[in-house]
Chains A and B, each alone.
Chain A
Amino acid sequence: MGVEQKLGNMGVVTTTLENVVNWSRTNAMWPMLFGLACCAIEMMSAQAAHYDMSRFGMELMRASPRQSDLMIVAGRVSKKMGPVLRRLYDQMPEPKWVIAMGDCASCGGVFNNYAIYQGVDEVVPVDVYVAGCPPRPEALIHGVLTLHEKVKGIKFADMAAESK
């Protein structure tokens, strides 16, 4: 676990530190270089010139899960891929977040059948769902910003309690 779990509640100090840490986490959220299907192409578009996620400090896509903070599940997750996805998630260090990008990752989308997990939340816990098939890059960026809002509200005390 990170440092913050070891800190108790130290009043103003913790609050300020919380703010700083959460701010840094939102601004340096490195996604994992990981695409599954159609949405991955839109994720690439979001990285490219028109939408440019690098503005948020997100162009450092890490190929190794050990170094990434955010997993964007871009596309449908098949029954064969599920265990792999979970393994990758488990390999990421805390704190980590998951965005289920697109309908397939959120709820199975149009593929309501034997081969596809009906939502990636059956495999890994999801923080933000982005709708669309595939979602436009703007939608993905909106999802990321929503996640930023969520991250900004993290309290160390909660994390410490969670890790116990």
Chain B
Amino acid sequence: MAQLEEVTIDQYKHLVSERALTGETMLLNMGPQHPSTHGVLRLLLELDGEVVVNCVPDIGFLHTGVEKNMEAKTYQKAEVMTDRLDYMNTMGNNLAYVMAVEKLVDLDVPPRAQALRVILVELQRIASHLVWLGTSGLDLAAMSMFLFCFREREQILDIFELVSGQRMMTTYIRPGGVWRDVPVEFETAVRDFIKIFPKRIDEYEKLLTKNPLFVDRMVDIGYLSKETALSYGVTGPTLRASGVNWDLRKARPYCGYEQYDFEVPVLHEGDTYARYLVRIEELRQSLRIVEQALNKLPMGPVRSDNRKFVPPPRSEIGVSMEALIHHFKLWTEGFQAPKASIYSAIESPRGELGVLLEGDGGPKPMRVHMRTPSFDNLAVLPEIVKGTLVADLVAILASIDIVLGDIDR
């Protein structure tokens, strides 16, 4: 199996208990190729029978050097790297980065673009939660769940493809707005989705929420207390299932989230079942936001007309020399950002997705740090899996919804 080399205990001496050194407990290498590690996570487990005594995550198997690579690109071109970080939340990554750039260079965004961003990011949140629901169903061997969830996800991806031409790596949200206005079919496509999706959520719930086997696998498993969660920097639905009402969309509204009426589901149990319920409820709330935003969707431009930072529309390039120059300058040289540092964060489906952007006065960022939520959410794993069974470990890992691209960057 996927054991690269015999685990040398010496290396992990300070991380496992003494019993492992005497051979009383078993060291099991789970991953990097394992069906339920959601990619290439390696967990070194110390097992007593099937009870997890210690769990040492080993990450970095997907380390891509995104931050380094972004430093070598202009602000605009660096955006394509963000898509590929948390590949379940591409729109959200774009938004987080773009908001940081806009904050750094002080760029305004027209309201239509803001509303479109909200719609797309919320759809992305639904898509991300659907993948989570499907794969965590799969991890508990409820395999049909996976296919049902992907059916709806396809619909969302179709909408993305409609607006951006790409299913996943859209790079649709750009500094100063969005890439271009949405096509006319967009509204009907979203409305269709809004119409059928509530029924689908009920279907999922019918299949899982009250299913005794499912409840048995989820309830009172992997308890994460409020204090532990905060100390480990856990954010997002995982934190909210532990009883902390912290959602950046409510606490620090961006993109006009304050206009929309939605609730932040908070549960106090802190177990996997609570995390499941919170995410299911978030599906419904996100759908509410999408519906409101679509109803309120204002007309107008979708890009800022600040030509220093935003390329002119294609139609202008043919007729205006100035537009051509701007276009050329922007795509060859990029724009200059001040020598300063900012931190801006959005609520991604997994938690606080922050971007620390430091400019050096030139067209390329001095430092881009993506504060990715999965990284901290995974760090808490060893704390909450101690004393559970291997099967529970799988359920817990699924419930904190990690994306390895998000962790390893």
Contacts and interface: CB of A to CB of B under 8 A. Distances in A.
Q: Are A and B direct contacts in the complex by CB distance below 8 Å?
A: yes
Interface of A: 32-38, 40-42, 44-45, 48-50, 63-65, 75-76, 78-81, 83-84, 87-88, 91, 110-116, 133-134, 136
Nearest to B169: A133
B63 A115 contact: yes
16 contacts: A35-B39, A40-B39, A41-B88, A44-B135, A45-B150, A48-B146, A78-B61, A78-B62, A84-B2, A84-B4, A84-B33, A88-B2, A110-B81, A111-B64, A111-B65, A113-B64
B150 A75 contact: no
A114 B150 contact: no
Contact of B4 (A40, A87, A113): A87
Most buried by A among B64, B147, B151, B153: B64
A116 B65 contact: yes
Nearest to B161: A136
Interface string B134-164: 0100000000001100110110010000000
A49 B131 CA distance: 14
Contact of B154 (A48, A78, A87): A48
Contacts of A32: 33
A37 B61 CA distance: 10
A44 B405 CA distance: 16
A38 B169 contact: yes
B87 interface: yes
* Nearest 3 interchain pairs by C-beta: A48-B150, A38-B87, A115-B65
A18 B60 CA distance: 44
Nearest to A114: B65
Given A38-B169, A80-B61, A114 B68 contact: yes
B408 interface: yes
Contact of A83 (B1, B4, B88, B135): B4
Nearest to B72: A113
A114 B87 CA distance: 21
B80 A113 contact: no
B153 to A, nearest CB: 8
B20 interface: no
A65 B83 CA distance: 30
A108 to B, nearest CB: 10
Contact of A78 (B2, B84, B408): B408
A50 B161 CA distance: 15
A36 B63 contact: no
A80 B154 contact: no
Contacts of A111: 64-66, 69, 81, 84
A36 B39 contact: yes
Contacts of B34: 63
B373 interface: no
Nearest to B32: A84
Contacts of B33: 32, 34, 65, 84, 88
Contacts of B60: 78, 80
B90 to A, nearest CB: 8
Given A78-B408, A110-B80, A48 B65 contact: no
Contacts of A79: 63
A14 to B, nearest CB: 36
A82 to B, nearest CB: 10
Given A38-B168, A38-B405, A76 B62 contact: yes
Given A37-B87, A112-B69, A78 B169 contact: no
B198 interface: no
A73 to B, nearest CB: 11
B169 A80 contact: no
Given A45-B157, A65-B2, 4 more contacts: A41-B87, A84-B61, A110-B80, A112-B69
A37 B39 contact: yes
Nearest to B149: A48
Contact of A81 (B32, B66, B405): B32
Contacts of A133: 84, 169
A100 B157 CA distance: 23
Interface string B19-35: 00000000000001111
B4 A134 contact: no
Contacts of A48: 146-147, 150-151, 154
